A and B are shown apart, each in its own frame.
Chain A
Amino acid sequence: MGVGIEVSNLNAWYGTNHSLQDINLNMPGNHATALIGPSGCGKSTFVRCLNRMHETNPIARVTGSVLIGGLDIYADAKPVEIRRRVGMVFQRPNPFPTMSIYDNVAAGLKLNGYSNHRVLDDIVEKSLRNSALWDEVKDDLKKKSGASLSGGQQQRLCIARALAVDPEVLLMDEPASALDPVSTSKIEDLIFQLKTQYTIVIVTHNMQQAARVAENTGFFLNGRMVEYDTTHKIFTNPSDKRTEDYITGRFG
C-alpha cells in the first residue's frame, strides 16, 4: 500500500548552489502528486531527496526531514533500505543493456540476493502485468535484451523493474518527456492504475499531464515551492500570481 510523505524544512545543495530552499509539503498516500515548474526550478532535485539519490553526487548535501510512512528516511534508515521502499523511474528509459527483459525486472531482487526461481517468475509476471507490458513481451522474456525494446516499452520495463522490489512510493522524474504521444498516454493510463496501490510523485514539464494524472500539484520556482494545492485549484484558481503566470504560459 502507498504511504504518505511528509517533508519539512528540506534544503538541498549542489556544492555552494542552494538548489532547494525550505520545502514543506505533505503528500497523501495512494494519490498521485505532480510537481511542475520551469527547468532548473529544483523539482528533480526534490524527488531525488525522497529516495536519497541526491546524495550519490559527492558534492550534494541535504538538511531537514522527510517522513515516509512515518519513517524519517534521513535519521532512521540506510539509503539502500529507503530506495527499496521508494522506487524511481527516470527521464530517459535506462534498462540494463546487457540483461534480458526478465533479468531487468528481476534485477532489484536478484542483486539483493533473492534467488527462488518460482517466486521470481511470479514477481516478474506480476510486475510486467502491472506495467502493462506483459502481453507485448511474454514470449521473449529471456530471449530479448531490455535495450532491444522501443523507447515506450523500455520505460514501462523500467516501471516494472521498480515495481518488482515492492515499493510503497514510486517517484517518476519526467517519465514521458522522452517518449512519443502514444507511449506517453500509455504511461499516463498506467499512473492512473498504479496510484491505487502506490503513492506516486511525478515531476513533469507538461502541465496538461499534471492536470490529467494528479490529485495534487505543487509549483516550484527557483528552488522554492510557491504553491501546493489540489490540481483543480492550481489550474483554475491559483492563489499566487507566479503560479498563474506559469500555468497561463507567461513564462517557463
Chain B
Amino acid sequence: MTDHAATFIAILSTVVVVTPLVAVFIYLVYRGASSLSLDFFTQVPKPVGVAGGGMANAIVGSAILLGLGSLIGVPMGIAGGIFLAEFGRGTKLANAIRFTADVLNGVPSIVMGIAIYSLVVVPQGHFSAFSGGVALGVMMIPTVCRTTEEMLLMVPNAVREAALALGVPNWRSVLSITVKTASPGIITGCMLAFARVAGETAPLIFTAFGNVGRSMRLDEPIAALPLQIWIYAQSPYDEWHRLAWAGALVLIVLIVLAVSLVRYVTSRGVMKGAS
C-alpha cells in the first residue's frame, strides 16, 4: 500500500513538473506556428505596416552572442570548477571563489547588463555584439563552475588513486582521467548554463542593444531573438505580436536542438560503464 502511495506521489509530481513545460510549448505552437514561413528565417524585420518580414538577423545574432558567451563562460567556468575541486580544495582562495560564484549566480541579469555596460560599452563608446557576448559569458561562469566542481567531487577517489599509482603526474590525471570521468555531468552543467542565458533579454538591452539590420560584426549592435521578441511583444501591432510568438517558438526549438546536438556529439567517445 505504501509502495503504491509512493509511486502515485512520484508520478503525480512528474506530471505537475512536466505540465507547465508541455503547456507552454503547446501554447507557443498554437500562437506561433501560423506565423512561421520561409520568410521568417530569411528576412529581416519590416517597418510597421509592411506585411511579412522575419527574424533571420535575430537568429544569427543569438547564435553569435551565445557562441561568444560560451567561448568565455565554458572554459572559465570549467577551469574554475577544476580549481575548486582538484587543486584548491580547502584553501581560502577556493572558498572565496566558491562564495563569489554563488553570489554571482544570484545577481539579477539586468544588473549584470548594467555592469557590463559600464565595464565594456562605456569604455568602447558604443553598444556591441562583443559586450553582449561578454554579459552572457559572465552569467554562464558560476553555473558551469559550480556544476563542474560538484561533478568532479562525485568522481570516486579510487579513480584518482588508480591514475596516480600508474606514475601519471597529478595535472595529467586531473585533466585526462578525473575530468573525463565527470564529463557527462560537466556537459550537462554547460548546457544548463547555455539554455539559461539563451533566453536572457535583460543583460542584452544595455549591451548587444538590438539591430534591425543584418549586422554580424562584433563591434556593432546586434539583433538577438529574446530582444526582438521583447520589442515585438511590447508593440501595439497585432502583426508584431504574432511574430513575437513565432520568435519564442523558434527560440525554444533552437535551444532544444543545440542542446541535443552537443549531447550527441560529446556522448560519442565516452564509454558508459555498466556499474
Contact = CB atoms under 8 A, between A and B. Distances in A.
B162 A97 contact: no
Contacts of A96: 159, 162-163, 177, 180-181
B50 interface: no
A31 interface: no
A85 B167 CA distance: 8
Contact of B166 (A81, A97, A107): A107
Interface string B176-191: 1100110100000000
Given A53-B165, A162-B165, 4 more contacts: A53-B164, A56-B164, A107-B166, A147-B273
Give the secondary structure class of B's interface.
Answer: helix
Contacts of A97: 159, 181, 271, 273, 275
Closest 10 CB pairs of A and B: A147-B273, A84-B167, A108-B166, A145-B271, A83-B167, A94-B158, A88-B165, A148-B274, A97-B273, A111-B168
A205 interface: no
Interface residues of B, number: 25
6 contacts: A96-B180, A98-B272, A99-B271, A111-B163, A111-B177, A161-B166
Give the secondary structure class of A's interface.
Answer: mixed
Contacts of B166: 83-84, 87, 107-108, 111, 161-162, 165
Nearest to A109: B166
Interface of B: 156, 158-159, 161-169, 172-173, 176-177, 180-181, 183, 270-275
A248 to B, nearest CB: 34
A80 to B, nearest CB: 5
Given A98-B180, A98-B270, A56 B161 contact: yes
A15 to B, nearest CB: 14
Residue in A51, A53, A111, A147 whose Cβ sees the most chain B Cβ within 10 Å: A111
